[in-house]
Amino acid sequence: MLPSSIPLFPLPNVVLFPNVFLPLHIFELRFCEMVTDALQSDRIIGMALLRPGWEQDYEGRPPVYSVGCAGLITNFEHLENGRYNIVLRGLHKFRILNEDNRRSYRLAHVDGIIEPFDDSIRQAIRRDRAHLETLVT
């Protein structure tokens, strides 16, 4: 289950997808604080892609696309200089509803996105189910 609020890690040119692993080196102080906080709670961080023009407000809160992916910190290394090496495993896509700006990093209130199955997946499920039923009976 996806929490209703998750720390948001906006990056240019990096997209996380469900069931994909993403190694990251965290070096900015605000994002090191974000990782520390996540490690002390549920280990979940939301990845969001920065919109074009993000360079003008990078130190602030540049605009991001409204859909992102929550990731679970599966591995981490806390380095001597306070930085982190982490590995995220994509969990679930989300839509950003709004943001809480009271921290040094972004905290997003999110709603999980339910992915409908396409026809090819439905056919594969039916085929596998029929095969499993023959094995069980």
For 27-38, the pLDDT digits (tens) are: 999 999 999 999
Q: Name the domain count of the chain.
A: 1
pTM of the model: 0.80
Half-sphere exposure of 87 (CA within 13 A, CB side): 7
Q: What CATH code is carried by the domain that includes residue 66?
A: 2.30.130.40
Q: Which domain holds residue 9?
A: 5-136
Distance CA 113, CA 92 (A): 7
- Tell me: pLDDT of 25 over 90: yes
The 3-class secondary structure across 46-106, one letter per residue, is EEEEECCCHHHHCCCCCCECCEEEEEEEEEEEECCCCCEEEEEEEEEEEEEEEEECCCCCE
The mean pLDDT of 84-98, rounded to a whole number, is 97
Query: Which one of 11-15, 83-87, 126-130 scores highest in mean pLDDT?
Result: 83-87
